[in-house]
Amino acid sequence: MTKLLVTGGAGFIGSEFVRKAVSKGYEVAVIDNLSYAGDMKRLKEVAGRVKFFKTDITDREAVKDIFGSVTPEAVVHWAAESHVDRSILDASPFLDTNIRGTQVLLDLSREVGIKKFINVSTDEVYGDLGESGQFFETTPLNPSSPYSVSKASADMLGRAYHRTYGLPVITVRPSNNYGPWQYPEKLIPVVILKALHNERIPVYGKGENIREWLYVSDCTEAVLEVLEKGNAGDIYNIGSGEEKRNIEVVKAILAILGKSEDLIEFVKDRPGHDFRYSLNATKINSELEWKTKVRFEKGIEMTVKWYVDNIEWANKKVSTKKP
């Protein structure tokens, strides 16, 4: 397979996937609605080498025309509303894009006979854990937030299309991504920017919540491995095994920047805040021989450096950020 249709390809992780796929010789077409979190600057280095369509994935007729135009062999579906806090304020865009948009893509993929459909889910569909335990691909889904419910719905919809219609859907569930170009509403870029401006850094609760951190290039390499070697109908957890409490992440960033921990301000916890995520990635490690390359200590240093070097882009995003 050489012709890919990538949704959400101007987003944080989607654009990294597009850049990597192009470098590996894939012919890539991108669908992205360029909502607040999308940015064509992320695709600057592959400009002229990808076909780009500014389209909402819920627009069935427009997406159908794109399928007919680019005749993709595989779909890699990254497009999603993804910020938990926004979903708590208003769940509607999450249900529209993440569920209805996924249905549109699955239906059209059936019509044209797509050879592989990579449905990108998240570790958040599992719910949360206590201090011990892990999520396996067979763990029942138990989402907590409107965001994770919408992703669990899209996840299950894809698997239903495989079982009911034989559509070759593969589900991937990555852990928390971080790295360059992340929109500054997620924990790591927020902390970096506020620290650079010597502003107070809000940390939910006591900062004890635990996340598994995966560098963005490792995630996209894993998805390429799944695209090339994965089995239709299968599910693959994509995890790094590197768990950090939120307060540890904040302090690591402050240390890199030489900033005082006095900037930290503990604030009221997020409603329904999941305590801990932890993925068992044995399946992808053993079956597809994929392993992470970037350790957290190195990845967070590279991420901080990128934001320091690209502070104008980040500042502009913050200044135009929608509520």
Confidence of residue 320 (pLDDT cuts 50, 70, 90): low
Alpha helices in 30-128 (DSSP H): 60-70, 84-89, 92-94, 101-112
pLDDT at 2 over 90: no
Q: Is the dihedral of CA 124, 63, 181, 265 positive or negative?
A: negative
Instruction: Kindly list the structural domains of the chain, giving each domain's residue range(s) and its CATH number in brackets, ordered by start.
Output: 3-178+215-238 (3.40.50.720), 187-211+243-275+295-319 (3.90.25.10)
* Residue type at 216 in one-letter notation: V
pLDDT at 323: 43
Q: Is 218 a catalytic residue?
A: no
Residue 29 burial by Cβ neighbours in a 10 Å radius (0-12, 13-18, 19+): buried
199-217 residue pLDDT tens: 999 999 999 999 999 999 9
Backbone angles phi, psi at 88, to 5 degrees: -70, -35
Distance CA 20, CA 18 (A): 5
112-128 residue pLDDT tens: 999 999 999 999 999 99
In which region does residue 258 sit, left (phi positive, over 0), alpha (psi from -120 to 50) or beta (all else)? left
Residue matched to tokens 């950090």: 244
Distance CA 216, CA 229 (A): 20
For 80, the 3-state DSSP assignment is: coil
pLDDT at 150 over 90: yes
223-252 residue pLDDT tens: 999 999 999 999 999 999 999 999 999 999
pLDDT at 318: 79
pLDDT above 70 covers what percent of the chain? 98
Average pLDDT over residues 292-298: 98
Q: CA angle, corner 101, sides to 228 and 123, nearest 5?
A: 60
Q: Is 221 a catalytic residue?
A: no
309-318 residue pLDDT tens: 999 999 988 7
pLDDT at 1: 66
Is pTM beyond 0.75? Reply is yes
70-98 residue pLDDT tens: 999 999 999 999 889 899 999 999 999 99
5-43 residue pLDDT tens: 999 999 999 999 999 999 999 999 999 999 989 999 999
- Which residues, 6+ apart, have CB-to-CB distance to 16 below 8 Å? 179, 181, 216, 217, 219, 220
- Catalytic residue, chosen from 126, 147, 161, 215, is 147
Please spell the DSSP secondary structure of 104-132, one letter per residue.
HHHHHHHHHT-SEEEEE--GGGG--B-SS
Q: What is the mean pLDDT of the chain?
A: 96
pLDDT above 90 covers what percent of the chain? 94
- Catalytic residue, chosen from 123, 155, 225, 234, is 123
CB-based contact 223:17 (threshold 8 Å): yes
CB atoms within 10 A of CB 61: 8
- Catalytic residue, chosen from 32, 39, 124, 242, is 124
Q: CA angle, corner 120, sides to 313 and 99, nearest 5?
A: 95
Q: Is 123 a catalytic residue?
A: yes
